[in-house]
Structure 1
Amino acid sequence: MIENVKRSFRVLALALAAALGGTVAAEAQNPFSTAILVNNSAITYYDIEQRALFLEALGAPGNRQELAVDQLIDERLKLQAGASFGLELEEESLELAVAQFAESRNLTAAELRDALAQRGIAASTLNDFVKAGVTWREVVQGRFRARATPSDADVDAALSLGRGSTQESVRLSEIAMPFEERGEEATRELAERLSNQLNGRGDFAAAAREYSRSNNAAEGGSLGWLEVGSLPPAIATQILALSPGEVTLPIEIPDGLSILKLHEVRVDSRTAPPELTVAYGQLVIPLPNPVSQTALREAEERAVAVQRELDDCLSLSARVPDFGPGSGRVKPVLPSQLPGDLRQVIDRLDPGETDVVRTADAVRVVMLCDRASNIAPEQREQVRTQLLNQRLNSLSEGYLQELKRNAVVVRQ
């Protein structure tokens, strides 16, 4: 077996000569020499051969040598990201992760190592593969989990659209500016200025009509609704970090720059919706007719003051005697039964949150008390997990692409 492994090293070295674009007279004699440097972290010919054999054992399709190189570069970057966060996988945690990886293939860790050894694959190759995956998962969780965690409103939106697997879509507009028109430096300066000026304010559509050179410029740069999963990871990462009304930083596109504005986010579904009710409370401050600016300002100031004092719907109920007719808790109703302006407010609140709403005859402090449906708690958590994983996957891919763009990769 040792002679077979040595022979495979010689064959691999010659194959990698073409793949890596260099001569390998020395490398063919020394499989432990450096094939690639990733930010000064070495990948040897031995590493590549071992990974290719490992991929073959797993039944990976395609050119396994090329896939081995791609995976090892990515993993070096993932481990470097982990090191920058001070992450170091302990031996006990590594053994547990290896055992879980083996269990997913109906083997014990010892059985998996024995099976790999029969193919000439070192235990360290399995350990390195598993270590990179676990480290990257911790990096992504630590960096993005708070941003990616769905709110109760997000879960309710997914449930109200009623499918087990969900897909987020976003309504976007763009300003696309080629370098050719103004030159690269001037285009970058303009893109930075527009991104700052239009973020959360300003007329994006007017700016698109003036500066964008895409086919949709005349329509204010509208791209319509797009599934987040269909966007390039680097773009999806920026979009998921935005709130509606905000715009991205300038994004590199072929021969130019693009700025995107997020208008709306929705969770799509393909099956019939379950019943979903909302319970809310309100404190009503009546307005005189006709209403003066002074009276309106005083009502709004009072609403904001009492809003700060409310902790939950019990505290709201305690304040009802101090306010006008219609104040109090409202029995659970379907969102479709609410007036349009009130429904928009309720839809964006989590239980216990409040907002101030101006209507024709009053200023109202509205608090969402609860959302309820015939969906089991276990299903809610499944949907929450699906949404979280979708967002983490998009953010993870975008972060990896960023690491690749900033990496110094030298093929020897």
Structure 2
Amino acid sequence: MNVKTKLSDCVRPLLLGALLLGTSAMAEVQPLNRVVAIVDNDVIMQSQLDARVREVQQTISKRGAELPPQDVLTQQVLERLIVENIQLQIGDRSGIRITDEELNQAIGTIAQRNGMSVEQFQAALAQDGLSYIEARDQVRREMIISRVRQRRVAERIQVTDQEVQNFLASDLGKMQLSEEFRLANILIPTPDGASSDAIRAAETQARDIYQQLQQGADFAQLAIARSASETALEGGEMGWRKAAQLPPPFDTLLGSLSAGDVTEPIRTPGGFIILKVLEKRGGETLVRDEVNVRHILIKPSEIRSAAETQRLAERIYQRIEAGEDFAELAKSFSEDPGSALNGGSLNWIAPNALVPEFREVMNNTPSGEVSKPFQSQFGWHVLQVMGRRATDSSAQFREQQAMTLLRNRKYDEELQTWLRQIRDEAYVETRI
């Protein structure tokens, strides 16, 4: 028997039996709930559909939008429930479970994002006519669906290094990853076909304003009083602009300015413009501290007690202090398989990538010095700091941003394809 028809075959005899009852018996039956859809080996009940329709109606009403016809809305909601149900069944077959602790943490996060405590969140739900128990169940379902998608969709997405580089070199990539500035402007206009005298007069006026700004004059007040810009009455404020959206020379000039700085007057086709950087974000130069460090790790084991492990680490430290080669001792004794063959070297590494105990000792050890033995969760260490440096990781950060943008784009496309696929492959019988 086909597994997808098994549940349907079980439900049909019940319905057929009801149809064979006499009309008087049928008149006495007032069903409180009924099946509105069979989805593989599960069902969707009328009560589930009604509850979700009410939620959607409330959401649409709060946005001030017009509700679609009831039959259209009901069909849309039912289709959403069907696709959700298919994913929940995939999660169940895959053994995906959400613990109460994970669920409580998720509820707490939702409440916090809305500026509420959990108790206030419960009260808000009750005020909207929603059950807290039902809300918890809905959050649990959404968490299961999210994990199913991570396993089935996200893991199939691949972004190559070449795709990242192509994106970074594209106009779209430059636009999305460029710096952003919140700007204000003052415009001293020059009419079309202006004479040289008129242009000089406009420049003189712009220079006078610039001098006042340099002496501490308020930019917004000068914009209101002197600017011909369409944003003059707003103090010249233009909102946020990406560097890639600005014409030369502003696209490169603003990068050297800090929040609060103003440009000198710059000639444009419309006149002379002075810009003020109110805020800036994105495109920062990211400098990361790195340490070149090597270590020897000694672990306790079934044949070596904790005390014996400590004593061995101390003897190795004494041999290093006596002049023996750190790298050779690391190759002979270190039980860190990732670094032992390299003389214990971890190469250049960011301190935040290390466990707190290791990081603290490393930070307090001068370059060229060897630390005394110390303990971490992995065992006993002796480390030597070989050097320190500050690395500009801006390019790496932009590559990570590009990778994330490309993965998200591919994820959205792949998700829609996957949802259509599982919907087409599922056994679905609707009974509205």
Same fold per TM (> 0.5)? no
TM-score (norm 1): 0.39
Instruction: Between the two structures, name the one with larger relative contact order (CA 8 Å, sep ≥ 6).
Output: 1
- Structure possessing the higher radius of gyration over alpha carbons: 2
